[in-house]
Every structure is written in structure tokens, then in C-alpha cells.
């Protein structure tokens, strides 16, 4: 039974970190001049460590050109950095990626045993 509680705590911790990262990115969006659609790509970078154009395209239900423009704009703003060429290309956090968001995404969650006295 404790395993179920631990699993639920892990999932809740991930959801909480994800929500906090999203909120921090939306707060930073104005300062960086980025759209909510671009925030989705940044959120993926924070939570997963990278984003691919195809993943951004599917997540936002946009065409290839729009996804490419979004990622080019984020690259130009130094929020992401392109890694690799053509088919294998993906994007990771760039030098101007908000450090508080990365810290939130990487924060560890402590599991509590609900049955300990």
C-alpha cells in the first residue's frame, strides 16, 4: 500500500514542478518578448531537457514552418541552443534561459511514508 502513496507523491511532485515552471515561464514571456506558443517549447526544454521541432509542431498543432520560426526566434533570443543538424536537430536551454525555471524543474521531491508513526 505504501508503494501507491509513493507513486502518487511522485506524480504530484512532477505536476507541481511542471505547473510552477509554466507559471515562471509565462511571467518571463513579456520580458523576453515571446508568445505563449513559444513558452510551450521552453517548458519542454525545462521539463525534458530538450525539444524537437516535430514535438513542438505536434504539441501546438501548428505546421512545420510555424514551428521552425518559433524555434528560430527562441534561438536568436538565446533562450535555446540548437544541437545537431537537419533530422537529428534538437534544442536545449540556451545562455539566456531563465535559471530559476531550470532550478524548479530539477528540484527533487522528498517522498514521505504516510504509515510511519
Note the pLDDT tens digit of each residue in 94-114. Answer: 999 999 999 999 998 777 777
Note whether residue 117 is domain-resident.
no
* Nearby residues of 9 by Cβ (< 8 Å), 6 or more positions away: 109, 111, 112
Residue 81 inside a domain? The answer is: yes
pLDDT digits (tens, 9 = 90+) for 59-87: 999 999 999 999 999 999 999 999 998 88
| Boundaries of domain holding 66 | 2-106
Q: What is the pLDDT of residues 16-61, one digit of tens each?
A: 999 999 999 999 999 999 999 999 999 999 999 999 999 999 999 9
Interatomic CA distance for residues 42 and 80, integer angstroms: 8
Would residue 114 count as lying in a domain?
Answer: no
pLDDT category of residue 117 using cuts at 50, 70 and 90:
low
Report the CATH number at residue 75: 1.10.10.10
- In sequence order, which residues have a C-beta less than 8 Å from that of residue 113 and are 6 or more positions away? 2, 5, 6
**What value does the mean pLDDT of the chain take?**
92
- Looking at the structure of the chain, the number of domains it has is 1
Would you say residue 61 lies in a domain? Answer: yes
The residues near 96 (Cβ < 8 Å, ≥ 6 apart) are 32, 77, 78, 79
Pairwise pLDDT comparison (1 vs 65), residue with the higher score: 65
Amino acid at each position: 500500500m505504501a508503494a501507491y502513496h509513493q507513486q502518487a507523491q511522485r506524480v504530484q511532485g512532477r505536476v507541481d514542478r511542471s505547473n510552477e515552471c509554466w507559471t515562471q515561464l509565462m511571467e518571463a514571456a513579456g520580458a523576453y518578448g515571446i508568445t505563449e506558443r513559444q513558452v510551450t517549447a521552453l517548458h519542454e526544454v525545462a521539463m525534458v531537457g530538450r525539444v524537437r521541432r516535430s514535438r513542438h509542431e505536434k504539441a501546438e498543432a501548428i505546421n512545420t514552418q510555424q514551428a521552425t520560426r518559433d524555434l528560430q526566434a527562441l534561438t536568436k533570443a538565446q533562450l535555446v541552443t540548437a544541437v545537431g543538424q537537419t533530422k537529428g536537430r534538437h534544442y536545449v536551454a540556451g545562455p539566456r534561459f531563465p535559471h530559476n525555471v531550470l532550478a524548479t524543474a530539477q528540484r527533487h521531491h522528498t517522498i514521505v511514508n504516510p504509515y510511519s508513526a
